[in-house]
Amino acid sequence: MTSPNDQPHDAPATDSPAPGKTVARAPFPVAHWVAGTVLALAGGLAARFIAPGLAEPARGFAAATGHAAAGLGLLVIALGVRKRVWAANTAAADAAAENTPESAAPAAAVKR
């Protein structure tokens, strides 16, 4: 019986596209970094540089809006990283489940 690990390193991948075809990939790895960074920087600039030059009623609103935008930018980055880590962990768990023999029962299923 052979396993996927017994294949030589130069064997073609089973999920590779046909020759001449391109694979459309989502902008997954960097989209949240770019959007979150732009939002956080814009919020920081508004709170630190634009708000102090405004009159009093607008100053507080601009500062609060800038701080909220900076916080939202950091939240976008955190959610994007969380999504990427979750996807990697799910893929690793699926791969481990496929390679686990049926005779190897989880420890929680064994009654004592």
Interatomic CA distance for residues 50 and 11, integer angstroms = 58
> Which pLDDT tens digit goes with each residue over 2-19?
555 555 555 555 555 566
> Which pLDDT tens digit goes with each residue over 59-87?
999 999 999 999 999 999 998 888 777 87
**Average pLDDT over all residues of the chain:** 76
- Report pLDDT for 36: 92
Q: pTM higher than 0.85 for the full model?
A: no
- Report pLDDT for 88: 76
DSSP state string for 35-76: HHHHHHHHHHHIIIIIGGGS-HHHHHHHHHHHHHHHHHHHHH
CA proximity to 38, closest of 27, 50, 46? 46
Could you give the 3-state DSSP secondary structure of residue 7? coil
Q: By percentage, how much of the chain surpasses pLDDT 90?
A: 36
